[in-house]
Amino acid sequence: MHLGLCHGALVQQWLGCVRARVCAPAVRAATAPCTAHSQWRSSRRLTTQTTCQQQAKQKEARNTATLPLDGITVVDLTRVLAGPYATMMLADQGADVIKIERPGLGDETRQWGPPFAGDQSTYFLSVNRNKRSIAIDLTDPEGLAVVHRLIATADVLVENYFPGKLDQLGLGWDTVREINPRLVYASISGYGSTGPYAGRGGYDVVASAVGGLMHITGPAGGEPCKVGVAMTDLSTGLYLHAAVLAALLSRERTGVGMRIECSLLETQVASLVNVASAYLNAGAESTRLGTAHASIVPYQAFSTADGHIVVAAMNDAQFSKLCSVMDLGGFKDDPLYATNPARVANRDALLAVLQARFSDQTTAEWGAALEDSGLAFGPINTIEQVFEDPQVLHRNMVAEMEHATAGTVRVPAMAVKYTPSGEGHQSPNDVPPSAPPRLGQHTRDLLADLGFTLQETERLERRGVVSQATPAGDLP
């Protein structure tokens, strides 16, 4: 099949099929997923290039898995963080996520480093597990035709291109909903598709500045700071993930898909929550307080003899308990500190006393003293200490995968624990993840699923329309 010649006729047949609600045999044959594709969707198969014993065990475990999003196919046109984070969560839940990347370049984060694990960027590895990669030139008509074929039988498309760019490429909402009316089309941008900032580029650090997060982050009296990880990006990914699930549920009732728009700015504004409410309802402008809280005292970090500890006394009873643990019993009944409004009003004087007392002992000693108090507390851990923490270890918060070129890859595991109530259902937490794909690792597999012969695929490769990763067995 020469896709470049037949695509126009195929799409016209498909559109006629949709409008008439009758499936033309030629279209059905050309767009139906093959058996191998369906098997992968239910098993989230491992790369076939690597043959280590651990991967064989992972594949065997996955073959019997039944996951919440089995049977859902996601066309992933996202790069960097917010989009890939959202699609990784869908993949963790069983969706077949097909990551479409530029031949020769791929997702920008593939080059973000050091550090690298082997030849793989650790940044890219962090948000791309359980996906398949196909490298396609979207600017080539034959490449566009391949993507249209993928969309025809997909359930979800996620993209984070500059607003209007996919319309120019022939992949905008108005085009693809004609190809597949049941498609959930989810977009991420910096500022949304309309408004005075719609034409601006958007990244996490800029959106967190415009959206107020940097204004309230940093030391009291100091310069604005960005958060240590891209929380605006990550929050946008979380919003989009939930929105996609809601749209899929809606489709079960209505039979049609919908368009979803998320933007970094809107996510950040919505995430101001109580800070926004204080301004909108009481005219209170917030500022930077370091680790402290504007409305609760004490609720912050304190220096100890050898590090730092964070303590939160959320109400008067908890403050009284803290005073008892710290041998400061006279403060709990002092009218200057007995109630939270009084403690907020007399913040500086109280914090000076607490800080002097915390400095007397080590972080571990204070931890031991607070352990059975019922108070919320914890040390400020380094990243190394995070992954040595007994609670983190107990909750299995590290996922391991075998990668063809990076070796054993370790990343944070899913934050949600699933426990199915019925027999024969498996928790996503129990299914070994597959490693993030190499650029174009699954190009030939996916084209074969669409009905391409090897000769047709090789012709597209020679033209630079698609590219396939070097087989693992051919690597030095």
Are 438 and 119 in contact by the 8 Å Cβ rule? The answer is no
Cβ atoms 239, 266 nearer than 8 A: no
Nearest to 469 by CA among 80, 110, 40, 94: 110
Determine contact, residues 108/118, Cβ cutoff 8 Å: no
CB burial of residue 156 (10 Å; 0-12, 13-18, 19+): buried
- pLDDT at residue 428, rounded to an integer: 87
| 87: helix, strand or coil | helix
> 291: number of CA atoms within 13 Å, CB side?
14
By the 8 A CB rule, do 73 and 96 touch?
yes
Distance CA 95, CA 435 (A): 15
Alpha carbon 145 to its chain centroid, in Å, reads 28
Contacts of 366 (CB under 8 A, 6+ apart): 304, 309, 358, 377
E-state strands within 342-418 = 376-379, 398-403, 407-412
pLDDT, one tens digit per residue, over 8-31 is 444 344 434 433 332 333 333 333
List, by residue number, the catalytic residues.
233
- Contacts of 212 by beta carbon, 8 Å cutoff, 6+ apart: 268, 269, 272, 275, 276
Give every residue of the chain whose pLDDT is below 50, as ranges: 1-52, 55-56, 59, 62-64, 473-476
Taking alpha carbons only, the member of 38, 36, 137, 30 closest to residue 96 is 38
Q: Which pLDDT belongs to residue 475?
A: 43
Q: Burial level of 394, CB count in 10 A (0-12/13-18/19+)? A: exposed
Distance CA 456, CA 404 (A): 27
Q: What predicted TM-score, i.e. pTM, was given to this entire model?
A: 0.84
Which residues neighbour 105 within 8 Å (Cβ) at sequence distance 6 or greater? 439
